[in-house]
């Protein structure tokens, strides 16, 4: 899973592997649509990973809220999707 608006370097890095990419909507002000991630997972999608830029999104500059980050972590744990989260302090 990748955000529909994502750092082009990430696209270039995975392109040689010819993955089936599930594009997740990205709100220009709040970032990744976590509900859409949940819907895909509930319908049986089992991605190799979810790639999300949570802090100072490139190219949008959006920062994902703590609540959205927490929900993504819960979803990845519940559905067994490998994840690595870098939590920036909200203060």
Q: What is the pLDDT of residues 44-75, one digit of tens each?
A: 999 988 888 887 777 777 888 889 999 999 99
Please give the structure tokens belonging to residue 16.
Answer: 């040689």
Q: In the chain, what are the domain boundaries?
A: 2-79
Cβ neighbours of residue 33 closer than 8 Å, sequence gap 6 or more: 24, 25, 26, 27
In tens, the pLDDT along 2-21 reads: 888 887 777 788 888 888 88
Q: What is the pTM of this model?
A: 0.81
Strand partners, 27: 31
């Amino acid at each position: 899973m990748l955000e529909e608006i994502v750092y082009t370097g990430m696209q270039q890095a995975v392109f040689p592997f010819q993955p089936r990419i599930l594009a997740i909507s990205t709100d220009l002000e709040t970032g990744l649509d976590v509900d859409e991630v949940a819907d895909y997972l509930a319908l049986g999608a089992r991605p190799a990973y979810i790639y999300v830029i949570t802090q100072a999104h490139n190219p949008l500059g959006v920062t994902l809220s703590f609540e959205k980050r927490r929900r993504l972590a819960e979803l990845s744990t519940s559905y067994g999707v490998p994840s690595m989260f870098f939590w920036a302090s909200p203060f």
